Homo-oligomer: A and B are copies of this chain.
Amino acid sequence: MSFALESRLSGTLGRAGVLTTPHGVIHTPAFVAVGTKATVKALTPDQIAATGSEVVLGNTYHLYLEPGEKIVGEAGGLGKFMGWSGPTMTDSGGFQVFSLGTAFGKKANKFIGHRVSGAVEGQRTPLAHIDDNGVTFRSYKDGSVHRFTPERSIEIQHVIGADIIFAFDECTSPEASEEYQKEAMDRTHRWAKRSLAQHKKLGGEQVLFGVVQGGRHEDLRKESARTIAAMDFDGFGIGGSFDKADMGTAVRWVSEILPEEKPRHLLGIGDPLDLFEAVENGCDLFDCVAPMREARTGALYTKHGRINIENARYKIDFSAIEDECDCYTCKNGFTKAYLAHLFRSEEILASTLATIHNLRFIVKLVDGMRQGILDSTFEKYKDKFLSAYKK
């Protein structure tokens, strides 16, 4: 893998680059399509590519449980298994191990949420138990008991075989005490070292990103960035948790410390406003299920904000979701009235057409930021977008 910086966004930490993997290039900043169980839900690989997506991220936790990493490996790895010829990534499984067993509601897409250790009272009975060596957790599918350690996570990710993989980390609740955040961060650092050792031991072409944690605390974030930056990782993940309002600041603390020549992936971010902040603060990659998950509920992205296609007014609206959108859905005569009908009739095609649109919207939005960095029109592009977009 190689990463070449092409341009910088003056007065900020923002940059545009090209990340070259064995399966093709990723033009950064880039939104990463999430293909949790080796499928970007409701899309064929052709349809993923047609949205302009250059890279797909699978979730190690889900693939480990279904169909099991061995089957993905025997198929020739994640890309081959799902028929995606471009670059692939897997996360470490850490986020899901902690989050899927614990209190986790409407804010699941928002990069916040309560994690099992250090989390506040009132959460559900945790399905995961953490110790210094790893995490014992229950499957969200059948309650069966499993255990991940840094070594096991890396081993699974090697079998799954994505181009870019991540060190096993602990992602804490933003409500956790600073004391707990420090404890979890120190553990993440020890796990980073073990992840790296296991990765080197197993060899191969995959590259490993270390994950910076530290919550919303400046001293912890900076300490984590320095510690992880000092290790021999090929790139970096920046993990939650912080409140949404703290995100830009926390990312900046980290980006100022991380080496410029290596790519940075902000984990779990996909909201349009957050993406601008993340790009300005030096992030190159972002993944988030929100655009796809919201699409399947009928929440469609437009330059004026989200619309709920099941709103009665759309039943007789014979215009495209967005006239200027170049996605398959908008360019082929599918109207809001048709989408409203498909959603009301619970037709499968509703999810497909909506996902194509939302994913294209976000991919194009980030591509626009990239172009803005390259030709110094970022501020103008951002102002234009933000003036129209209603949160």
Contact = CB atoms under 8 A, between A and B. Distances in A.
Interface of A: 37-39, 41-46, 66-67, 71, 74-75, 80-83, 315-316, 318, 328, 332-335, 337-338, 340-342, 344-345, 347-349, 351-353
A38 B341 contact: yes
A131 to B, nearest CB: 30
B328 A37 contact: no
A340 to B, nearest CB: 8
A56 to B, nearest CB: 13
Nearest to A344: B66
Contact of A67 (B67, B341, B348): B341
Nearest 6 A/B pairs, CB to CB: A67-B341, A42-B348, A39-B349, A83-B333, A37-B345, A39-B347
Contacts of A41: 347-349
10 contacts: A37-B341, A39-B342, A42-B349, A44-B353, A66-B341, A66-B345, A71-B315, A74-B337, A81-B337, A83-B332
A118 to B, nearest CB: 31
B341 A71 contact: yes
A347 B75 contact: no
A43 B333 CA distance: 15
Q: Which of A80, A338, A351 has the most CB of B within 10 A?
A: A338
B37 A347 contact: yes
Nearest to A41: B348
Given A38-B341, A315-B67, A349 B44 contact: yes
Nearest to A333: B83
Contacts of A42: 348-349, 352
B351 A348 contact: yes
Contacts of A344: 66-67
Nearest to A332: B83
Contacts of A333: 80, 83
Contacts of A45: 332
A338 B66 contact: no
Contacts of A352: 42, 44, 348, 352
